[in-house]
Amino acid sequence: MADGTAKRMMQSGQPERIVSGQAFDEDARIELSVRPKRLEEYIGQKRVKENIQIAIDAARSRGEALDHVLLYGPPGLGKTTLAQIIANELNVLIKTSAGPLLERKGDLTAILTSLEKKEVFFLDEIHRLQPAVEEVLYPAMEDFRLDLIIGQGPGARIHPFPLGHFTLIGIVHRLDFYEPADLLIIIHRSAKILNIQMDEGGAEEIAGRCRGTPRIANRLLRRARDFAEVRAAGRITRAVAQEALQMLGVDAHGLDEVDRNLMIALLDKYAGGPVGLGTLAAALSEEEDAIEEMYEPYLMQIGMIDRTPRGRVATARAYEYFGRDLPKRQPRLF
């Protein structure tokens, strides 16, 4: 475990956070076995699931391609899983790409023109698409048509190229953080598949610390198992899970060092805010994007941080959690 971490740090220059929703290599390996393959195995996200079930049933009964499904949300919540489930349920192949991989218009055109009728195309991280590439994508989605430009300069012609009614799973369903009850089901399911012994207390402890994210739940489960095998006869109890996760720097709310540094800077250095994103990022030597996309969503979800027009503020809950006295006068206007 320690070796793997060192290696990853050397490759990226940045340590990977155990509570990151982003997939690591080891996640990719394990996800093959624990990832649900049918819609009925997909836990939680009730509203999204119902909508997708209806769309699948309708497409099936009409023998047509599925309407475009757009899924988005923080990493690790089940977008890729859902895309693959849709392809499985419709019995079609799936082609995958991601926003940052499509550098030029031609990259997207090449994929779109290679799609077979009704094939599912999963485009991940759609918010990272270049504007020039978006221009190609939207007509393709709306009319199943691609405008190919043939020739150059004044002689260039636009040829509409019909696409065989593909289903694009781009990324307008927002996946949200999971409820504790759903996380418990996911954790028990994974433990069973991976042959891990665990009691209810152990599962609850992992559910409480996984930031509402199945990928993190599965990762913490594996780490707790490693610890249990070495120190506790292989069984994950509440005490074993607590000790294992504390050793990894993950606290009872799933916060790690990075989150704590952010909260402590906000509370102590900036008197609870409001402080602008840029200032906070500079104080932590982090990218603004990283704070906005990776750290804040969960801190907001659990009510530690608020975003206001004047900047980020720490909530009363944050003062309490970090053992700071609430300022008598709220640092608001006037």
Ligand X SMILES: Nc1ncnc2c1ncn2[C@@H]1O[C@H](COP(=O)(O)OP(=O)(O)O)[C@@H](O)[C@H]1O
Q: Per CB under 6 A, which of residues 48..107 are in contact with ligand X?
A: 75-81
CB of 81 to ligand X, least distance (A): 3
As a whole number of angstroms, the distance between CA 230 and CA 204 comes to 21
Which of 167, 142, 162 minimizes the C-alpha distance to 88? 167
User: Contact between 213 and Mg ion (CB under 5 A)?
Assistant: no
36 sits near ligand X (criterion: CB under 6 A): yes
Q: Which does 76 bind (CB under 5 to 8 A by kind): ligand X, Mg ion, none?
A: ligand X
> x/- site string to ligand X, residues 224 to 263, per CB under 6 A?
----------------------------------------
CA distance 298 to 314: 14
Residue 97 parent element (H or E): strand 94-98
Radius of gyration of the chain (CA): 23
By C-beta, is 50 or 143 nearer to ligand X?
50
In angstroms, the CA 253 to CA 266 distance is 18
Distance CA 293, CA 72 (A): 12
Q: Which positions ≥6 away from 231 have C-beta within 8 Å?
A: 240, 243
In the complex, least distance from residue 28 CB atom to ligand X, rounded to whole angstroms: 9
Nearer to ligand X, 96 or 315 (CB): 96
Q: What does the block give as tokens for 236?
A: 């994950």
Binding pattern for the stretch 69-98 against Mg ion, x by CB under 5 A and - elsewhere: ----------xx------------------
**Longest pairwise C-alpha distance within the chain:** 75
Residues 187-226 that bind ligand X (CB under 6 A): 214-215, 218
Q: Which is nearer to ligand X, 212 or 214 (CB)?
A: 214
* Backbone dihedral angles phi then psi of residue 109, each to the nearest 5 degrees: -55, -40
CB of 186 or CB of 240, closer to ligand X: 186
Interface residues toward Mg ion, by CB under 5 A: 79-80
Tell me which residues touch ligand X (CB under 6 A).
31, 34-36, 42-45, 75-81, 186, 214-215, 218
